[in-house]
A and B are shown apart, each in its own frame.
Chain A
């Protein structure tokens, strides 16, 4: 066990270096690098001479490449990405205030998705081929094919504009400061309801067929039949034998959901004017705020790396067979 954990943690080090290297190469291609020579000629919103000088200073574009790489690595390790071009505040501070809403939303969505998926998929798997099962599967295929941003526009139109149930712009109301704690909580929840559903619905539609198929194959296993033969109740077989074995493969999927949700957040957060990571990235790209762009790219990759590591370790804990691989 410890051997595997150590090996797995050590394996993240080359990946980490690779992420740093890849982002470093991206910076190297940035306008204002020695390769481009001049700062002008970059679209209409060309980099000004002052920004150019700041870029050169900040990324030390005159130093030898090894020195620069070492410094970039140091910055990444210390989470020090310099100051934002847009408002002069430290990049890490700007990212941190956007990171909290997005990560909270991400993990809330994953938790809600599991709460919906497990009962639905269990019902479908225990009634295979029946009408309800077919309807569930067809609905999943249909909903999974709706892109999140189309879903967002439909929800804005139906629930936001026509029914006017939920607000669909921003994270808080204008009078947020005057509200009591409970009202604040409700305010944030109602502002996040629509954007949350846009993430949630495709995720559920993706997970239900997956969990159903896994559960169907688990139900055919010998140990389930053995459990039934031992006279255990149906509920006990499902809860203690089938469900744990069904959920284990889901752990690996978790590692893929996080980057998908983070990546999908750009369009949706812009659409709902929701102050999260995706919108910060879009704004920084709009302002050509390179320190923030690079900081976010590295940071999201680090988050995904961390989640993958945790998921792998959890998997090893949940499935003893992994350790011998």
Chain B
């Protein structure tokens, strides 16, 4: 690696990475974001109503581990839990012998289980207390992260794909296709996002998949505009002319020369978009129109807290903090990404 000269603007990557190294804020934001994702992936290992490892009738079982595996994206359906633990009526707490070997998760409660009296204060048994129905707040918080992370990541992946395809087609093809795509973007931007999402949710009903689809298919407009602008300006550059002159096909130019330049701003927009998606999902769940009452979500927890804001205002703290911190992390990471990917910005400056 070459020694970066901070006055030489050409070595902007080195400058950017140097500024990144200095920036403890970014590092802690990244650390928190990774923690959230890990918590979401490993939720049953952290809070579950069944043990991680246990000995039952002479055999070893791994119920929480198999639940974790079965929640993984893509490969989840390969795993199935062993038999007695699979039945909803099987209560591991009473069925297991008291002195049999069992390793429980740190929070040995499920997110929807009523395990204690309502509105307990924080204690050794319930680290963040319990809510109005006696459910453990920490367990709900951990499992709420699953929904938020899934909605945030998947909906933005979808929005990114749709935005790149439509924006890229508009910017690269130009002419009538550009005109039509631009009108489509305009039309979508005319609908307040939350209105459109609510209305579509009425038709398709509750569910995580539905929310991901709806958010992904309504939030792509800003990405499409960015990609279109990058393609439009990139199309005129000399290296594209050069590529054309040696006979490169349109697809090759679009994918190899124009798309990489468009990916940087797209990535920034997607990072901010994750925050928006988390907020939209929490808002929908707050209204009771989101994921559904049988899944723990931060928005749902917030709603429970709102319903007894006069009697137990402390319930608000946990979901508020979770939403605020995750949104703040996305904003900090997005801002830092923008700075490090934008060659025109130096130290400590910002560009509109």
Which chain B residues numbered 171 to 196 have a C-beta less than 8 Å away from chain A? 183-184, 186-187, 189-196
Q: A15-B183, A266-B195, A270-B287 are in contact. Are A149 and B350 (CB under 8 A)?
A: no
Give the number of residue pairs across the A-B interface with Cβ within 8 Å.
129
B178 to chain A, nearest CB (A): 13
Which listed residue, A147, A157, A264, A301, touches B190 by the CB 8 Å rule? A301
Q: Mark B280-322, 1 if CB is under 8 A from A, else 0.
A: 0011001101000000000000100110011001001000100
Q: A150-B302, A297-B196 are in contact. Are A267 and B286 (CB under 8 A)?
A: yes
Q: Mark A142-159, 1 if CB is under 8 A from B, else 0.
A: 101111011001101100
Q: Which residues of B contact A144 (CB under 8 A)?
A: 331
| Size of interface on B: residues with Cβ below 8 Å to A | 44
Q: Which residues of A contact B199 (CB under 8 A)?
A: 26, 281, 285, 293, 297
Which listed residue, B187, B282, B352, touches A19 by the CB 8 Å rule? B187
B185 to chain A, nearest CB (A): 10
Q: Decide if B203 is an interface residue (CB 8 Å cutoff).
A: yes
In contact, A147 and B282 (Cβ under 8 angstroms): yes
- The secondary structure that dominates the A interface is helix
| Range class of the A interface residue count | 35 or more
Pick the most buried of B192, B305, B323, B331: most chain A CB atoms within 10 A of its CB. Answer: B192
Q: Which residue of B lies closest to A15 (CB)?
A: B186
In contact, B309 and A296 (Cβ under 8 angstroms): no
Q: Decide if B198 is an interface residue (CB 8 Å cutoff).
A: yes
B218 to chain A, nearest CB (A): 10
In contact, A260 and B192 (Cβ under 8 angstroms): yes
- The secondary structure that dominates the B interface is helix
Q: Which residues of B contact A264 (CB under 8 A)?
A: 194
Q: Decide if B124 is an interface residue (CB 8 Å cutoff).
A: no
27 A-B pairs within 8 Å (CB atoms) are namely A19-B187, A22-B191, A26-B203, A43-B205, A141-B335, A144-B331, A145-B327, A150-B320, A150-B324, A153-B305, A153-B309, A153-B320, A154-B316, A157-B316, A161-B309, A161-B313, A217-B351, A259-B189, A266-B283, A267-B283, A270-B287, A285-B198, A288-B202, A293-B202, A297-B195, A297-B196, A308-B189
Residues of A with Cβ closer than 8 Å to B? Answer: 14-15, 18-19, 22, 26, 29-31, 43, 129, 141-142, 144-147, 149-150, 153-154, 156-157, 161, 209-210, 213-214, 217, 249, 259-260, 262-264, 266-267, 270-271, 278, 281-282, 285, 288, 293, 296-297, 300-302, 304-305, 308
7 cross-chain pairs, A with B, having the tightest CB-CB distances, nearest first? A263-B192, A263-B194, A18-B187, A213-B352, A145-B328, A259-B192, A301-B190
